[in-house]
Amino acid sequence: MLGGVVLATAVRAVDDVTLHIERVDGDGWSASDVAVDLGLPEKNALVRARVGKLNVPALSQTLTDVRIECPSLDVSGDVIACAKARVLADWPALGKQSLDARLSYGRADGSLDVALQGLRVGDGRIALQGTLRDAGWNAKVRLQRVPIDRLMKLAADLKAPVPELTATGLADLDIVARGKQTNLGEAKVTGALLELTANNEEGSLASDKLSLHVDASVRGSAQQWTFDVAVKSSQGQAFAQPIFVDLSAHAMSLRAQGKLTDGKSLTLDRFTLDHADVAQVSGRGRLQLDLEQPLRDVDVELSSLTFPGAYESYLQPLLIDTNFKSLQTAGSIGGKLSMADGEPRRIDLRFNDVTFDDGAGNLNLSTLSGDWHWLADATGDDSDEDDAPPSRTMQVAPSQLKWQGGALLGLDLGASELNFSTQGRQFRLTQPARIPLLDGSIDLETFRVRNAGLPGVAFLVDATLQPVSVQKLCKAFGWPEFGGRIGGAISKLRMREGIVTLGTTLRAQVFNGEVTISDLRLEQPFGQWPRFYSSIALNNLDLEPMTSAFSFGRITGRLSGAINGLELFNWTPIAFDARLYTPPDDRSRHRISQRAVENIGSIGGGGAGVTAALSSGFLRFFDDFNYDRLGISCRLHNEVCVMDGVAPAANGNYYLVKGQGMPRIDVIGSSRRVDWPRLVEQLLAATQSEGPVLQ
């Protein structure tokens, strides 16, 4: 349609015509300030046209100073066409362009068919074939090694949604699309993105020399889009905080089909992920993108999660700041998982010879196998009484896990099997279990957990510790090694409202005697400031292996006593009433070395006198001495230790060691009130020093 005033000027009568057109409106385009020069030879028309402004709403762009040269114009009753046109245009997003074109204008309907070759974008090229007809458009676009950064800028200029990324790389793509004005109705994209290196401002997304093959189609309207997307990659690296994947080592293919509604609700009717030697996953899901936790409904079938690939790709980045950042792993996991309304609903996993080892003995489990089943919304025992029997039948399938061996915190574990059930936030051992530990074992009779992961978590344990070598236990923890065995019953070890209590007494056979722990209580075990209470009784311990283990100096004889009202704050003693002494009925040989004499003397404030006595006179010729009895007491309160010994001495002092026979030495303490931190320093020095050297 011609809108405006048409002025025709005849030059040389029948050879040349110049037209000036104020405005031309077509179907989906308009042009203004148009000048057309027509050459009229015998057979063909030579045409040169200049367009001041060409507006194509589908491109969201206005092109300026468009020049078209057609060596042979084809004019008929229906169309005006040029098969071999040359077009020069100033495109706002791309700059000045010189293109080969095929143009066709429908005289009756105002339609426009255009085919452009040689559109330059950086060092890349774009070929475009498009039709504007019946208020709609169709386009075919081929991108050949187009720089991705320029392509993203072009998309932004065209007001297309693009991610907020800084990116480099190349695009080789074929795009077929149709729509109306600025609205896309349908599109299909095939091709590749090459050496894509991208990152967002936050640093949470990044890639390095990533190459992707893309096959995608979308269809719909502004309210709802359906899509079918397939992506494959075997080159480069990608990072989506905190997950890093090396696609050169583990190629990946992903396909997803679904729809996006109102730009917020994403439904995946079907998705599959094949991550070579890492994971094979399929399923369906629904995401609500405007929610803080967008994942709403998911059904996932995990064909295989394969180690070590799965650990290196998915788990290791999550553990990089922990002691488990360098695990050696093997095996695989398969199963199913589901979520509903944003909450986990069901987990069914099969472990196939899974092994993980931190290399330091802190965490090592060999060939873990079996099934784990979990259901939400427990319908089993919700009783507040930990030892109450279940009131309803658990609906979840029974679980069973077994392993061939391993280690935990340096403690060797033997082959074991656990039969249990998990539902909601509850765990219940369904059969007694025996876990070999060092040269003994832990025999679990009862193990239940309620409210796992909540502040109100509670548990109950009934178990028997079959005697374990104290020497092996100390070696595992890096403590001074000494003999004996530790074992006993652990009855009603429970936690309620953040407080751990023990309903029985623990007994350990150490140093050829017995240590008893009672009234155990632990508050805030997982808090910042745990507080521990107990009372400890020592009965007839052999001093010789005990003092040798702690490098205190050699003492022979027996020791009994008690540490009552022990209270630790953040694992530091703040109160107790302790008394250690030689048992009245001890008939064993009593000998004490020079080093032990001096260390005991320094604790009681008489160190200078003891050292002087050992360094002068005939006592310096003896390595050890006889004693009748020894003992010490300390009542700790407000960082002050009120001290006493085994018997009173002159001038208000007290005996720490009361000698007898020949050679004989007495160690007398004079300090009744001792600063506790200073006393701890003296005790540590006494166990770590090499002892006095006598001349």
pLDDT above 60 (res 660): yes
Map residue 14 onto helix, strand or coil. Answer: coil
Q: Are strands 224-240 and 243-246 parallel, antiparallel or unpaired?
A: antiparallel
* pLDDT of the residue at 622: 53
* pLDDT of the residue at 195: 93
In 3D space, the residue among 663, 571, 585, 655 whose CA is nearest the CA of residue 623 turns out to be 663
* pLDDT of the residue at 524: 82
Enumerate the H helices of 394-443 as residue ranges. Answer: none
- The 3-state secondary structure of 25-49 reads EECCEEEEEEEEEEECCCCCEEEEE
Q: What is the mean pLDDT of residues 3-15?
A: 39
Reported as a pLDDT band with limits 50, 70 and 90, residue 566 is very high
Within 13 Å and on the Cβ side, how many CA atoms surround 14?
2
pLDDT above 90 (res 279): yes
Map residue 518 onto helix, strand or coil. Answer: strand
- Highest mean pLDDT among 127-136, 327-336, 659-668 belongs to 327-336
> How many Å separate Cα 94 from the centre of its chain?
44
Higher pLDDT, 406 or 687: 406
Percent of the residues in the chain that have a pLDDT greater than 70, as a whole number:
86
Q: Before 648, cis peptide (omega within 30)?
A: no
Higher pLDDT, 595 or 272: 272
- Highest mean pLDDT among 162-176, 327-341, 506-520, 608-622 belongs to 327-341
In 3D space, the residue among 327, 329, 280, 324 whose CA is nearest the CA of residue 309 turns out to be 329
- Highest mean pLDDT among 315-324, 431-440, 501-510 belongs to 431-440
CA distance 403 to 36: 86
Please provide residue 605's backbone torsions phi and psi, each rounded to the nearest 5 degrees. 85, 5
CA distances from 153 to 148, 199, 201, 203, 210 (A): 9, 16, 17, 21, 20
The per-residue pLDDT of the chain, averaged, comes to 83
Q: What is the mean pLDDT of residues 384-411?
A: 73
Q: Before 317, cis peptide (omega within 30)?
A: no
* pLDDT of the residue at 172: 95
Q: Before 163, cis peptide (omega within 30)?
A: no
> How many Å separate Cα 221 from the centre of its chain?
38
Beta bridge partners of 149: none
Query: What is 348-399 written as a DSSP string?
Result: EEEEEEEEEE-SSSSEEEEEEEEEEEEESS--S---S-TTSPPSS---SPPE
Map residue 150 onto helix, strand or coil. Answer: helix
* pLDDT of the residue at 411: 85
CA distances from 620 to 612, 615, 629 (A): 10, 5, 22
pLDDT above 60 (res 612): no
Contact present, 588 and 646 (Cβ < 8 Å): no
Reported as a pLDDT band with limits 50, 70 and 90, residue 123 is confident
Residue corresponding to tokens 């255009």: 114
> How many Å separate Cα 497 from the centre of its chain?
29
Q: At what angle do helices 607-615 and 594-603 cross, to 10 degrees?
A: 160
pLDDT above 80 (res 618): no
CA distance 432 to 450: 19
- Highest mean pLDDT among 1-10, 117-126, 471-480 belongs to 117-126
Q: DSSP code of 512?
A: T
CA distance 625 to 667: 11
Q: Are strands 224-240 and 252-261 parallel, antiparallel or unpaired?
A: antiparallel
In 3D space, the residue among 467, 475, 470 whose CA is nearest the CA of residue 436 turns out to be 467
* pLDDT per position as a tens digit, 572-591: 899 999 999 999 999 899 99
Q: What is the mean pLDDT of residues 83-105?
A: 83
> How many Å separate Cα 67 from the centre of its chain?
59
Q: Are strands 416-423 and 363-375 parallel, antiparallel or unpaired?
A: parallel
pLDDT above 60 (res 357): yes
Beta bridge partners of 99: 87
Contact present, 477 and 489 (Cβ < 8 Å): no
Percent of the residues in the chain that have a pLDDT greater than 90, as a whole number:
38
- The 3-state secondary structure of 486-502 reads EEEEEEEEEEECCEEEE
Map residue 536 onto helix, strand or coil. Answer: strand
In 3D space, the residue among 378, 377, 367 whose CA is nearest the CA of residue 332 turns out to be 367
Q: At what angle do helices 594-603 and 676-688 cross, to 10 degrees?
A: 170
* pLDDT per position as a tens digit, 180-191: 877 788 999 999
CA distances from 524 to 341, 383, 501, 520, 576 (A): 33, 23, 12, 14, 20
Beta bridge partners of 369: 402
pLDDT above 70 (res 687): no
User: Which helix (H) or strand (E) covers residue 155, if one does?
Assistant: helix 148-157
CA distance 46 to 39: 5
**Going along 292-327, which residue ranges are E strands?**
295-307
Largest pairwise CA distance in the chain: 149
CA distance 414 to 437: 7
Q: What is the mean pLDDT of residues 198-204?
A: 85
Contact present, 601 and 595 (Cβ < 8 Å): no
- Who contacts 288 (Cβ-Cβ below 8 Å, separation ≥6)? 264, 265, 266, 294, 296
CA distance 305 to 244: 16
* pLDDT of the residue at 36: 77
